[in-house]
Chain A
Amino acid sequence: MLRVAASYVKSRTVAEEVVQDTWLAVLNGLERFEGRSSLRTWIFRILTNAAKTRAEREGRIVSFSDIASATRNAEPALELERFLDASHGGPAGWWVAPLRRWPDDGPAERLFARETRARISRAIGALAPAQRIVITLRDVEGWSADEVCEALEISDENQRVLLNRARARVRRSLEQHLDASKGSA
């Protein structure tokens, strides 16, 4: 929730206030919840309304109609230079350099180290708002695709495009982090 709130408002403090306001509103309004949507979607609506109100007051607003237009301005999942083009003389559309495997990601492994998670957290925070909201709900909070589409009022296809770009960027950031820490080890 904090991550979702943070994609609307400027500071972490304000985002935390929005989350607290949301829980209070949820607790006070729980009796009125009619079960017409899932509880999560209902809470999410309260959260986004609270966040939007704060964002308007701060003069900063991200609307979900921006999300749909963000997906239409097609940007590739990865920077173009990572794939061969005609100027390289090789087969176009192939990786410039072969990928290397990461260490195993059992719970005790390096992939789950605190600094690695901090890196992922920062990478998600640096995404465009639409990508950030979608990857936060899907991969961090574990929502289903249907729930995200319903809550954000976006199509299935939009949801997948945003999620794919977000994952590609976060993967790239993790790769840079693992390469760098390998170099220093």
Chain B
Amino acid sequence: MTTAPGLTCKQFVELVTDFLEGALSCADQQRFEEHLAACESCPIYLEQIQQTIRVAGALTEESLTPEARGALLHAFRDWNARS
């Protein structure tokens, strides 16, 4: 295992969302990228966080049960008929 300058993996993990949101200072951004280039596990961690975000984004169509969806559509049709 090579030793990266600057950040530890533990610090890297705390900064991942700041990095993805473009919220790191220039100095931290550089330290983050240096660690990313030098570490074996942290690039995998970053990729897995991005995979997690994509899978979470695929949940949204399942957020209502069929019953709730039916009740909503019914309410909408009532409202639509009134206006």
Binding site for B on A (CB under 8 A): 1-3, 12, 16, 19-20, 23-24, 27-28, 76-78, 83, 91-95, 98-102, 105, 111-112, 116-117, 120-121, 124, 135, 139-142, 145, 156, 160-161, 163-164, 167-168, 170-171, 174-175
Binding site for A on B (CB under 8 A): 1, 3, 8-11, 13-14, 16-18, 21, 23, 40-42, 44-45, 47-49, 51-60, 62-65, 67-68, 71-72, 75-76, 79
Closest chain B residue, CB of each to CB of A22: B72
Report chain B residues within 8 Å CB of A28.
79
Report chain A residues within 8 Å CB of B13.
77-78, 168
CB atoms of A140 and B11 under 8 A apart: no
CB atoms of B75 and A27 under 8 A apart: yes
A-B pairs under 8 A by CB, number: 128
Chain A interface mostly: helix
Q: Tell me, in angstroms, the Cα distance from A141 to B63 when the chains sit together.
A: 10
Q: Which 6 residue pairs of A and B lie closest in terms of their CB atoms, listed nearest first?
A: A93-B8, A164-B17, A139-B56, A99-B41, A93-B10, A99-B44
Q: Tell me, in angstroms, the Cα distance from A23 to B72 when the chains sit together.
A: 8
Q: List 12 A-B contacts (CB under 8 A).
A: A20-B75, A77-B16, A91-B8, A93-B9, A99-B41, A111-B51, A112-B58, A120-B59, A140-B63, A171-B45, A174-B48, A174-B52
